[in-house]
Amino acid sequence: FLTFEGELKWKHQNITYRVQNYSPDLPPEVTDDAFARAFALWSSVTPLTFTRLSSGDADILIQFGTKEHGDGYPFDGKDGLLAHAFPPGPGIQGDAHFDDDEFWTLGKGAVIQTRFGNANGAPCHFPFIFEGRSYFSCTAEGRSDGLPWCSTTANYDIDNLYGFCPSELLYTLNGNANGDPCVFPFTFEGRSYTACTTDGRSDGYRWCATTANYDQDKLYGFCPNRDTAVTGGNSQGEPCVFPFTFLNREYSTCTNEGRTDGHLWCATTDNFDRDRKWGFCQDRGYSLFLVAAHEFGHALGLDHSSVREALMFPMYSFTEGPPLHPDDVKGIQYLYGSRTEPDPKPPTSAPLEPDSTTQSNACPTLPPIVKPTGPPTSRPSEPPTAGPTGPPTASPSVLPTGPLDPADDVCGVQIFDAITEIQGQLHVFKNGRYWRIQQGSKGPRAQGPFFIANTWSALPRILDTAFEDPLTKKLFFFSGQQVWVYTGQSVLGPRRLEKLGLDPKVHRITGAIQRNGGKVLLFSQNQFWRLDVKKQKVDRSEPYPVESMFPGVPENPHDVFLYQGKVYFCQEHFFWRLSLHDQVNKVDQVGYVTYDLLHCP
Q: Which residues bind another protein (CB under 8 A)?
A: 5, 73, 75-77, 79-85, 102, 232-234, 247, 249, 257-260, 265, 276, 278, 286, 291, 294-295, 298, 303-304, 306-308, 313-316
Which C-beta is closer to another protein: that of 151 or that of 268? 268
As measured in angstroms, the least distance from the Cβ of 40 to another protein is 20
User: Rounded to an integer, what distance in angstroms lies between the CA atom of residue 436 and that of residue 417?
Assistant: 14
DSSP string, 588-600: EEEEEIIIIIS--
Least Cβ distance, residue 314 to another protein (angstroms) = 5
Residues 6 or more apart whose Cβ sits within 8 Å of residue 548:
none
Please give the Cα distance from 324 to 45 (Å, whole number): 10
Distance of alpha carbon 418 from alpha carbon 434, whole angstroms: 9
Question: Which has the closest alpha carbon to 222: 239, 191, 201?
Answer: 201
580, 565 contact by CB (below 8 A): yes
CB 568 within 8 A of CB 510: no
CB of 307 to another protein, least distance (A): 8
Which of 236/359 has CB closer to another protein? Answer: 236
Q: Give the residues across from 463 on adjacent strands.
A: none
8 A C-beta contact, residue 36 and residue 17? no
Question: Alpha helices of 337-423 — where are they, by DSSP H?
Answer: 356-362
Interaxial angle between packed helices 28-43 and 288-300, expressed in degrees from 0 to 180 and rounded to the nearest 10: 50
Distance CA(569)–CA(550), nearest Å, equals 10
Compute and round to an integer the Cα radius of gyration of the chain: 26
Q: Is-catalytic flag, 542?
A: no
Write the DSSP symbol of residue 25.
Answer: T
Q: How far is the CB of 204 from another protein (least distance, A)?
A: 10
* CA–CA dist 577, 550 (Å, integer): 10
Looking only at the bridges linking them, the beta strands covering 96-99 and 249-251 are unpaired
In angstroms, what is the minimal distance from the CB of 16 to another protein? 22
Closest separation in Å from C-beta 407 to another protein: 29
Which C-beta is closer to another protein: that of 309 or that of 572? 309
Pick the closer one to another protein by CB: 42 or 476: 42
Partnered with residue 492 across adjacent β-strands are 485
Q: What is the 3-state secondary structure (H, E, C) of 431-496?
A: CCEEEEEEEECCEEEEEEEEEHHHHCCCCCCCCCEEEECCCCCCEEEEECCEEEEEECCEEEEEEE
Q: How far apart are CA 429 and CA 452, in angstroms?
A: 8
Least Å distance, CB 453 to another protein, is 24
Tell me how far, at minimum, the Cβ of 220 lies from another protein, in Å: 24
φ/ψ bin of 161: left (φ > 0), alpha (ψ from -120 to 50), beta (otherwise)? beta
CA angle 566-569-570, nearest 5°? 130
Q: Please state the length of the chain.
A: 601
Give CA–CA dist 112/49, Å, rounded. 30
Cβ nearer to another protein, comparing 2 with 195:
2
Q: Kindly name the residue from 168, 238, 295, 421 that is annotated as catalytic.
A: 295
CA 213 to CA 184: how far, in whole Å? 10
Q: State the nearest-atom distance from the C-beta of 223 to another protein, in Å.
A: 19
The nearest distance, CB 52 to another protein, in angstroms, is 23
Q: Of 124 and 267, which CB lies nearer to another protein in the complex structure?
A: 267
Report d(CA 222, CA 100) in Å as an integer.
13
Closer CB to another protein, 205 or 478, in the complex: 205
Cβ proximity to another protein: between 316 and 456 the closer is 316
Task: Select 204 or 554, whichever has its Cβ closest to another protein.
Answer: 204
Pairing of strands 104-105, 286-287: parallel
Cβ nearer to another protein, comparing 82 with 169 = 82
Residues tagged active-site: 295
